[in-house]
């Protein structure tokens, strides 16, 4: 099952991909997390891409594609994958076709007010990368490794505005693209995590 999760920042793509990868036994591939990983793995490359991320801009298609291509060639992707944050442009969607394509694109529809609240409360563990909403961790510590959670540099208010703008202009047209391909499913993402998860299960267990 080759899945793409679509939706603006804060729509819950990462949250749902986390349980889906365990349940459907296919890897969760977040290009944003892979880019953030580069800060530790390859600081030289990260210096090149940091200014895009910190301003809420997209990194160049070719660069992200090289990173994704390597990841999709790994053996755990043989039976499928859940892409979170890729594709983000029509060009990336075309590039993905060349690598194995997509069975279904799941758009998580969420109201803008809800998204802002989620993004404002979003925290990430700088050590292991696990994501939280601040209301889940009153002591501000990662429940897996105990590190003090932080606000992602691109979740600051001035950057987040630009990320929404980039989403509307460049990424949202992918919804129409997958609709035209007959591969789009829409999920109401405004419920609780459990409610949205139940919708996703009903969709996927109904047969892709």
Instruction: Write out the catalytic residue numbers.
Output: 13, 88, 122, 152, 163
Q: Nearest approach, Cβ of 85 to ligand AMP (angstroms)?
A: 3
Closer Cβ to ligand AMP, 48 or 202, answer by number: 48
Interface contacts to ligand AMP, rule CB under 6 A: 9, 30-32, 35, 52-53, 56-59, 64, 85-86, 88, 92, 154, 163
Least distance in Å: CB of 11 to ligand AMP? 10
Give the nearer residue to ligand AMP in terms of CB position, either 73 or 198: 73
HEC string for the chain: CEEEEECCCCCCHHHHHHHHHHHHCCCEEEHHHHHHHHHHHCHHHHHHHHHHHHHCCCCCHHHHHHHHHHHHCCHHHCCCEEEECCCCCHHHHHHHHHHCCCCEEEEEECCHHHHHHHHHCEEECCCCCCEEEHHHCCCCECCCCCCECECCHHHCHHHHHHHHHHHHHHHCHHHHHHHHCCCEEEEECCCCHHHHHHHHHHHHHCCC
Nearer to ligand AMP, 14 or 199 (CB): 14
């Amino acid at each position: 099952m080759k899945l793409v999760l679509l939706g603006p920042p804060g729509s819950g793509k990462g949250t749902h991909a986390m349980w889906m990868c365990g349940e459907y036994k296919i890897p969760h591939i977040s290009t944003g997390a892979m880019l953030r990983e580069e800060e530790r793995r390859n600081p030289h490359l990260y210096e090149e891409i940091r200014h895009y991320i910190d301003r809420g801009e997209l990194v160049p298609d070719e660069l992200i594609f090289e990173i994704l291509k390597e990841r999709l060639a790994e053996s755990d992707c043989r039976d499928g994958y859940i892409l979170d944050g890729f594709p983000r442009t029509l060009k990336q969607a075309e590039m993905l076709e060349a690598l194995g394509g997509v069975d279904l694109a799941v758009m998580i529809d969420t109201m803008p007010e809800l998204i802002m609240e989620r993004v404002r409360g979003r925290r990430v563990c700088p050590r292991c990368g696990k994501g939280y909403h601040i209301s889940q961790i009153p002591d501000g510590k990662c429940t897996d490794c105990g590190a003090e959670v932080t606000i992602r540099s691109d979740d600051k208010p001035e950057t987040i505005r630009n990320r929404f703008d980039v989403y509307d202009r460049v990424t949202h047209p992918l919804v129409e693209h997958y609709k035209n391909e007959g591969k789009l499913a829409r999920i109401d993402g405004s419920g609780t995590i459990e409610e949205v998860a139940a919708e996703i299960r009903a969709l996927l267990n109904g047969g892709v």
